[in-house]
Amino acid sequence: MYDHKTIEPKWQDRWAKARAAEVDLGRAADKYYMLMMFPYPSGDRLHVGHGRNYILGDALYRYLRQQGRRALNPMGWDAFGLPAENAAIKRGVHPQDWTLSNIAVMKEQFKKWGILYDWSKEVTSCLPDYYRWNQWIFLRMLESGHAYKKKAPVNWCPSCQTVLANEQVVDGASERCGTMVEQRDLEQWFYRITAFAERLLAGLDTLTGWPEKVKVMQRNWIGRSEGAEIDFRLPGIGESITVFTTRPDTIHGATFLVLAPEHPLAARLFAEHPDREALAAWVEQVRSTPRIEREGENSPKVGKDTGAVAINPATGEEIPVWLANYVLPDYGSGAIMAVPAHDTRDFLFARQENLPIRAVYRREDTPADTAEWTEALIGNGTVTGVDARFDGSPEGKPTIRAFIDWMAGEGWGRAKVTYRLRDWLISRQRYWGTPIPIVYCASCGLVPVPDSELPVRLPYDVEFTGREGNPLSRNADFVNTVCPRCGGPGRRETDTMDTFMDSSWYYLRYLSPKDGARIFDPELAARWAPVDQYIGGIEHAILHLLYARFLCRVLHDQGLVPFEEPFKNLFNQGMITRFSEASGRIEKMSKSRGNTVSPDELIAEMGADTERVYTLFLGPPEDEVEWSDEAVSGAYRFLNRLWRAFEALDNAPGTGVADAELERQRHIAIKRVTADLDRFKFNTAVAALMEFQNAITRALEEKSASRLVVGEAIDTLCQLLHPFAPHITEEIWSQRGHTESLLETEWPKWDEAKLVRDRIEVVVQVDGKLRDRFEIAADATETEAKAAALASDNVARHLEGRVLVKAVYVKGRLINLVTRPA
């Protein structure tokens, strides 16, 4: 039996001693920068579901090493965040103590997995050495106008006790805790990511090494929309309202305006209305409605007439102005022109409220449910104003362009592009994060902390009560300070930064983690970044990966990095699922669902190599796969068979008759595993290695191959298997008498000439159906193959009563005899 309990720690210690993963960034001739998502200590330890990311990465790393590439493979800790703070409240542990002890545990887990990280590049985001640079970036953003504070309706999570960015709200609920968020008007810090919308969009087209799926998600999230702004005069209050539309060509059919109830002009519009108090109350009600309820699929459209009118600039007619919940305050200008004849939502609303409908086009790709109506209305004369000039251009685009030009000439409309993307809300009302470096001074106002006073340290002594409000704001020593500008009394900002800030640039800090003078070394960044290969889960598609792309552009504009895209190639590993007793369903493996498997127990029982091989064998790495407790033993048996084959080598000399065939198998294995690893097909690479191992065992049992050839086969198997099962392969390799670590050996090469056989099996089909097979010389001609096929009894039986029409010969594979009835 393979004694993994002794062997694995032995090799882990040796690798640690040799500091096997360390790269001298200044000297390495070759450069390849790979990265895995850095762990977030939301629990106190990692489970086998997490392992997929890191085991995959380590396998890739070891493969690259054997190919002679000394890749940079660093790891760090995304250590700030709510889970630690919540744990502090729940268990009475300080978040810092909790986090740092979790890090120690996880680091030990990585070691037990046999994962080689370059720990000389380690970063920990909750330490001032790191987070001071978050503050430094904040100050640069403030200088360039990319950071600002404003009062706005924001997402408040009552469970997390803080606001959240739009990206962190999924289906109306907090992405982290699942609680429904509320809308609150609060003054908050934002990063102006919207200013980069166009560049973020354009960059996606250059990311050929990213999964299409992630790019689509980012494009949707940015939500670029081309159209026009149109001004409508409001004669009642002497103002005008600007609407955004993608269909300015339908303006002749705009029979009313609809404003979001939150629109700044709303109150003035219904100021003279007899029911103005009821209207104001309704506006308040809409404002506090959770987004999900308001924007949900079946949410009813509710609207109120303000009593005011606007002038349609194209027709000169007075049209009513309404407020309705289906118009959103933060998209476009928060106001629309309603064209019920050509827009489904406007149509439904017009019909519900008995508002006029006027068609502009007869033939058009009008929404299906309004087209019929439009036709009917035109038919009975209810609808007027079909303009022959614009009727009948289904292409739309040239007409729209012409319209915008016309409106621009008239002076009340212009081309406009809007985005769905909102600015990134970065302030959080929580303790465990980077303090925002701002001081409020009674005489100077809002004063940034100068660079020389960074870092603004997060105080350790803070009271955790779980009560509403940031514990930082109750810490007088932190809050009370002096104004950096006038020296008078000041109060510190007590909001901390979104922890996604930490992960948005960490890949650069890895390159000079101890630099006390600079955020990172720009020369090393230019040389090593962007990251060549990033491996992480799909869940970060519009969170981390969007923020990191944004921040990369900010740093680029500061002249700190020469590139705009941080990650050249992205691989999304799928998640691992397992049956959960609690829900009775198969779900993502997670601590909260209680369906995790501990790697520590698994490693104690069957070894880290077993877990690694099984994790990679489980299924295609990009797919979601279900963990099976039973199937793990298959990987364990495989490694044990390898070990027994190695042990059997000494006392089982063979005849050598199968030497050529085993040698051929060896070359096949090299070719298959190499091709599979190059395509990230780890699961089929393992399968190929199992087949090769079976061939070796067979040769040993049959005593058909010579000791030398079997020994070489085992050596090659060790080299090929090393990325998957590093410990057992190192052990066998060294016991075989090799002195170098497998990490330093050269990845084996295959010889095409060795793959061919002199005799091959050819399949005979009659009319496409398999009837027989025979062996023939590999270079046999069609005539020879046909003769051999016809010599078969079974083939003859099927040719009976039929006439041979032709034969199709695929060299080295099959011959198909085509017949017709006699």
Partner RNA sequence: GCGAAAGUGGCGGAAUUGGUAUACGCGCUAGACUUAGGAUCUAGUCCCGAGGAAUCGGGUUGGGGGUUCGAGUCCCCCCUUUCGCACCA
In the range 390-419, which residues lie near RNA by CB under 7 A?
A: 418
Distance between CA 507 and CA 563 in Å, rounded? 14
Minimum CB distance to RNA, residue 291 (Å): 8
For RNA, the binding residue among 162, 245, 312, 741 (CB under 7 A) is: 245
Interface segment toward RNA; rule CB under 7 A; list 131-139, 191-199, 219-227, 741-749:
219-227
Q: Residue 250: which of 411, 352, 383 has the closest Cα?
A: 383
Interface segment toward RNA; rule CB under 7 A; list 5-13, 48-56, 621-629, 728-736:
621-629
Residue 175 near RNA by CB under 7 A: no
**CB contact at 8 A, 114 and 609:** yes
Q: Which residues within the stretch 524-553 sit at the binding site for RNA (CB under 7 A)? A: 542
Taking the least distance from each CB to RNA, the nearer of 523 and 601 is 601
Q: Which residues within the stretch 368-387 sit at the binding site for RNA (CB under 7 A)? A: none
Residue 242 near RNA by CB under 7 A: no
For RNA, the binding residue among 113, 326, 646, 724 (CB under 7 A) is: 326
Residue 697 near RNA by CB under 7 A: yes
Residue 683 near RNA by CB under 7 A: yes
Residue 265 near RNA by CB under 7 A: no
Interface segment toward RNA; rule CB under 7 A; list 182-190, 216-224, 275-283, 555-563:
216-224
Residue 637 near RNA by CB under 7 A: yes
- For the CA atoms of the chain, what is the radius of gyration? 34
CA dihedral 465, 470, 473, 479 (to 10 degrees): 120
Residue 5 near RNA by CB under 7 A: no
506 class by beta-carbon count within 10 Å (0-12 exposed, 13-18 middle, 19+ buried): buried
- Across-strand partners of 239? 234
Interface segment toward RNA; rule CB under 7 A; list 88-96, 133-141, 373-381, 619-627:
619-627
For RNA, the binding residue among 557, 626, 661, 663 (CB under 7 A) is: 626
Distance between CA 475 and CA 783 in Å, rounded? 93
Q: Cβ–Cβ contacts within 10 Å for residue 700, how many?
A: 22
Residues in the interface with RNA (CB under 7 A) total: 85
Taking the least distance from each CB to RNA, the nearer of 328 and 415 is 328
Interface segment toward RNA; rule CB under 7 A; list 64-72, 138-146, 356-364, 766-774:
766-774
Taking the least distance from each CB to RNA, the nearer of 216 and 446 is 216
- Across-strand partners of 572? 536
For RNA, the binding residue among 156, 244, 322, 347 (CB under 7 A) is: 244
Q: Residue 767: which of 816, 725, 802 has the closest Cα?
A: 816
Instruction: Give me the helix-helix angle, 707-721 and 632-648, nearest 10°.
Output: 150
Distance between CA 573 and CA 685 in Å, rounded? 16
Residue 675 near RNA by CB under 7 A: yes
For RNA, the binding residue among 205, 297, 395, 477 (CB under 7 A) is: 297
- Across-strand partners of 576? 625
For RNA, the binding residue among 122, 375, 515, 767 (CB under 7 A) is: 767
Tokens of 807: 């034969």
Q: Which residues within the stretch 186-215 sit at the binding site for RNA (CB under 7 A)? A: 212-213
Residue 681 near RNA by CB under 7 A: yes
Taking the least distance from each CB to RNA, the nearer of 233 and 641 is 641
Q: Which residues within the stretch 15-54 sit at the binding site for RNA (CB under 7 A)? A: none
**x/- map, 724-763, RNA, by CB under 7 A:** -------------------------------------x-x
Residue 648 near RNA by CB under 7 A: no
Give strand ranges (E) for 312-355: 318-324, 335-338
Pairing outcome for strands 531-536 and 489-492: unpaired
Interface segment toward RNA; rule CB under 7 A; list 32-40, 689-697, 722-730, 777-785:
689-697
Taking the least distance from each CB to RNA, the nearer of 294 and 527 is 294
Distance between CA 602 and CA 635 in Å, rounded? 12
**DSSP secondary structure letter of residue 267:** H
Residue 334 near RNA by CB under 7 A: yes
CA dihedral 48, 52, 55, 56 (to 10 degrees): 170
Taking the least distance from each CB to RNA, the nearer of 22 and 626 is 626
Residue 765 near RNA by CB under 7 A: yes
The distance between the two most distant Cα atoms of the chain, rounded to a whole number of Å, is 110
Residue 336 near RNA by CB under 7 A: yes
Interface segment toward RNA; rule CB under 7 A; list 119-127, 143-151, 243-251, 525-533:
243-251
3-state secondary structure 537-585: CHHHCCCHHHHHHHHHHHHHHCCCCCCCCCEEEEEECCCEEEEECCCCE
Q: In which residue are the tokens 């100068």 written?
A: 450
Residue 620 near RNA by CB under 7 A: yes
Residue 572 near RNA by CB under 7 A: no
Minimum CB distance to RNA, residue 677 (Å): 12
Residue 217 near RNA by CB under 7 A: yes
For RNA, the binding residue among 186, 204, 328, 444 (CB under 7 A) is: 328
Residue 772 near RNA by CB under 7 A: yes
The alpha-helical segments, DSSP class H, found in 241-309 are: 266-269, 276-288, 291-295
For RNA, the binding residue among 589, 686, 718, 788 (CB under 7 A) is: 686
Tokens of 126: 């909750």
For RNA, the binding residue among 467, 585, 757, 813 (CB under 7 A) is: 813
Residue 604 near RNA by CB under 7 A: no
- Alpha-carbon separation of residue 142 from 25, 106, 190, 475, 520 (angstroms): 32, 36, 10, 26, 20
For RNA, the binding residue among 78, 262, 343, 715 (CB under 7 A) is: 343
**CB contact at 8 A, 180 and 173:** yes
Q: How far is CA 111 from the centre of its chain?
A: 26
For RNA, the binding residue among 294, 401, 414, 802 (CB under 7 A) is: 294
For RNA, the binding residue among 634, 648, 656, 664 (CB under 7 A) is: 634
Give me the DSSP letters along 435-462.
BP-EEEETTTEEEEPPGGG---PPPS--
Interface segment toward RNA; rule CB under 7 A; list 6-14, 62-70, 100-108, 677-685:
677-685
Give me the DSSP letters along 131-177.
HHHHHHHHHHHHHTT-EEEEEEEEEEETTTTEEE-GGGEETTEETTT
Nearby residues of 365 by Cβ (< 8 Å), 6 or more positions away: 394, 396
Distance between CA 223 and CA 329 in Å, rounded? 16
Minimum CB distance to RNA, residue 209 (Å): 17
Q: Which residues within the stretch 784-803 sit at the binding site for RNA (CB under 7 A)? A: 794, 797-798
Residue 136 near RNA by CB under 7 A: no
Residue 671 near RNA by CB under 7 A: yes
Residues in the chain, overall count: 822
